[in-house]
């Protein structure tokens, strides 16, 4: 192994240009740990929030982003047994960050061996996007067949998976996004109908597509007017699951509307789920890996950047110029 590694870190909060590539010492595995030579790194919207110190938990400085990295185990510490030995290709889960690097040190228990059917770029979407989508779908499992479901940001990392999982579970999927190119992605992934949510009053289109009824469930992470229209798109007794607010703009639906329409809202936070219901999360992880290995689930990875271009990857995401999973390659 080399004596130094490269990693992307930042010493102050701010715009993408705070991200800097530095060299640091090669990590050495401690008890129960492995060192992985990284091939691909997943980029998530939470990385942008971390960079701005707007994440739901404080971000310490200096900080290296990256909660998921895919690569080959190069060294293993004491008490590490099969299959976490040198040469094994794994997905490393890094809840505290550190993945934007050419090498990472991680507990072997936070590594998932990967079957050859799943390539490196695809594997970066398993942890955050894959299990987030599967766990939210599981909240509605058994109640989707024949129902109408709205998926916002349908060409994004989570949304593109939600479209496919909802359809697998028998739902009629209405995908919403901001432009024709993204809507085309959603259609290719199996959406039955698409709606551009930059158009005013688009909830009326949803009602028209559902014979005036509205959707039984909606998945929302945009915020602002998109959130408002999503709530208005719900059928009486419907449910909206909110898992983010990419626009940073608060919605303003009056609480009385929820009462009048007998609709409900719930939130989803992956970190909370892992902390409080590890077995459920592990089940979701296994489900996503199985679907990918069987070729039943497709991960969109059209945007791949090099590690040194991490700042540009962030700019593209914030400008909403990306679809699917954004990946850094070392």
Q: Which CATH number belongs to the domain containing residue 322 in this structure?
A: 3.90.180.10
Residue 279 burial class via C-beta count within 10 angstroms: exposed 0-12, middle 13-18, buried 19 and up: exposed
The torsion angle over the Cα atoms of residues 294, 299, 304 and 309, rounded to 10 degrees, is -120
> Residue 60 falls within a domain, yes or no?
yes
97, 8 Cβ separation under 8 angstroms: no
Task: Give kind and range of the element (H or E) at residue 305.
Answer: strand 303-306
> Residue 172 falls within a domain, yes or no?
yes
> Residue 245 falls within a domain, yes or no?
yes
Over residues 180-186, mean pLDDT: 97
The pLDDT assigned to 259 comes to 97
Rounded to the nearest 5°, which phi and psi values hold at 239?
Answer: -140, 135
104 shares its domain with 204: no
102 shares its domain with 169: no
Angle between helices 180-188 and 157-168 in degrees, nearest 10: 40
Tell me the pLDDT band of 1, cut-offs 50, 70 and 90.
low
111 shares its domain with 232: no
- Structural domain tally of the chain? 2
136, 243 Cβ separation under 8 angstroms: yes
108 shares its domain with 144: no
| Residue-averaged pLDDT of the chain | 96
Over residues 277-287, mean pLDDT: 96
> Residue 312 falls within a domain, yes or no?
yes
Over residues 170-180, mean pLDDT: 97
* Among 137, 213, 218, 235, residue whose Cα is nearest residue 176: 218
Q: Distance of alpha carbon 177 from its chain centroid, rounded? A: 16
149 shares its domain with 267: yes
232 shares its domain with 307: no
> Residue 242 falls within a domain, yes or no?
yes
267 shares its domain with 160: yes
Q: Domain residues for 218?
A: 129-271
228 shares its domain with 138: yes
> Residue 56 falls within a domain, yes or no?
yes
The pLDDT assigned to 143 comes to 80
pTM score: 0.95
> Residue 295 falls within a domain, yes or no?
no
**d(Cα 160, Cα 220) in Å, to the nearest integer?**
13
């Amino acid at each position: 192994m080399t004596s130094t590694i490269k990693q992307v870190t930042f010493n102050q909060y701010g715009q993408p240009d705070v991200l800097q590539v530095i060299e640091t010492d090669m990590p050495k595995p401690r008890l129960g740990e492995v060192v992985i030579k990284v091939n691909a790194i997943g980029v998530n919207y939470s990385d942008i929030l971390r960079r701005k110190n707007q994440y739901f938990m404080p971000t310490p400085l200096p900080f290296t982003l990256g909660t998921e990295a895919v690569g080959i185990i190069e060294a293993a510490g004491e008490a590490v047994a099969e299959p976490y030995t040198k040469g094994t290709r794994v997905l490393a889960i890094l809840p505290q960050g550190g993945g934007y690097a050419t090498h990472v040190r991680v507990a072997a228990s936070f590594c998932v061996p990967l079957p050859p059917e799943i390539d490196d770029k695809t594997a970066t979407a398993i942890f955050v996007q894959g299990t987030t989508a599967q766990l939210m779908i599981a909240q509605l499992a058994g109640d989707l067949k024949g129902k109408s479901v709205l998926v916002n940001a349908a060409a994004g990392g989570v949304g593109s998976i939600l479209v496919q999982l909802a359809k697998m579970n028998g739902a009629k999927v209405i995908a919403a996004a901001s432009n024709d190119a993204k809507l085309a992605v959603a259609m290719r992934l199996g959406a039955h109908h698409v709606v551009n949510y930059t158009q005013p009053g688009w909830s009326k289109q949803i009602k028209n597509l559902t014979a005036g009824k509205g959707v039984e469930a909606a998945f929302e992470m945009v915020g602002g007017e998109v959130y408002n229209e999503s709530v208005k798109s719900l059928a009486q007794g419907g449910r909206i699951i909110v898992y983010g607010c990419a626009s940073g703009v608060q919605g303003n639906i009056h609480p009385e509307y929820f009462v009048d329409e007998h609709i409900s809202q719930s939130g989803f936070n992956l970190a909370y789920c892992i902390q409080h219901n590890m077995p459920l999360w592990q089940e979701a992880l296994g489900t996503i890996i199985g679907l990918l290995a069987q070729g039943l689930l497709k991960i969109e990875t059209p945007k791949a950047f090099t590690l040194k271009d991490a700042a540009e990857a962030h700019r593209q995401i914030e400008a909403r110029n990306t679809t699917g999973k954004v990946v850094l390659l070392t």
